[in-house]
Each structure stands twice: as structure tokens, then as C-alpha cells.
């Protein structure tokens, strides 16, 4: 079954680098997508791709079946839910999401 796995919760301290890990069992998936979601708002794409990439404070690592999102200099305002997703075969645009990781930031 096509699935994406990520931890339910990650805790960090302000100013640190936090890593959220993700792996998948999605057939023919080569791209990872990382979304940020604040309750009441639309999930927003942070970074995506099939190779390591960076967008501002967000770094994405890449392996064939796993990826990590690294957030540099974590702030209290980064406390939210982070979703990892993969696109399956045929490039249909269909994303399979993980359960979401709630980031807790301690001052």
C-alpha cells in the first residue's frame, strides 16, 4: 500500500536546528513535498524536489525512499504541523500525505 510515514511530534528549543524525518512506500515516487500548516489556514508548500534543496531557513535532504526537513534557527512562530508528501506514479499530480508532524518549540 502506498503510504508516507512521519513522526507525530517533534520538540525543539528556540534557535536550534530541528529535523523532521519522512519515509515512504509509494510506488514509483521520486519527489518529496514538504508543507507547513497553521490551523485555520491553507497548507503552504515549503520545499519540494528529487534532490537536496533549500528555501530560506528550510532545507530538504533527499534519499530514494526518505527525506528530512531541516528548519534552521527555529522560532516559536514555527510551531505548526508539517506534512511530508510524495507523488506516485504517472505524475498525476496526486500527492500522498503523511500523518503530519506537530513541531513544539520551547523558548
Partner 1 sequence: DAGVIQSPRHEVTEMGQEVTLRCKPISGHDYLFWYRQTMMRGLELLIYFNNNVPIDDSGMPEDRFSAKMPNASFSTLKIQPSEPRDSAVYFCASSFSGQGISPLHFGNGTRLTVT
Tell me which residues touch partner 1 (CB under 8 A): 31, 33, 35, 40-45, 48-50, 83, 85, 87, 91-100
**98 or 105: CB nearest partner 1:** 98
Query: Torsion over CA of 55, 15, 105 and 75, rounded to 10 degrees?
Result: -50
Let me know: does 22 contact 7? Beta carbons within 8 Å. Answer: no
Residue 18 vs 96, nearer CB to partner 1: 96
CB of 85 to partner 1, least distance (A): 8
C-beta closer to partner 1: residue 50 or 73: 50
Amino acid at each position: 500500500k502506498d503510504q508516507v510515514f512521519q513522526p507525530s511530534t517533534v520538540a525543539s528549543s528556540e534557535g536550534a536546528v530541528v529535523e523532521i524525518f519522512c519515509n515512504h512506500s509509494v510506488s514509483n515516487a521520486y519527489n518529496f513535498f514538504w508543507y507547513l500548516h497553521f490551523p485555520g489556514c491553507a497548507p503552504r508548500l515549503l520545499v519540494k524536489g528529487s534532490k537536496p534543496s533549500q528555501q530560506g531557513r528550510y532545507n530538504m535532504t533527499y534519499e530514494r525512499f526518505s527525506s528530512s526537513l531541516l528548519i534552521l534557527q527555529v522560532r516559536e512562530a514555527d510551531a505548526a504541523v508539517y506534512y511530508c508528501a510524495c507523488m506516485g506514479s504517472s505524475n498525476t499530480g496526486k500527492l500522498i500525505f503523511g500523518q503530519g508532524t506537530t513541531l513544539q518549540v520551547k523558548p
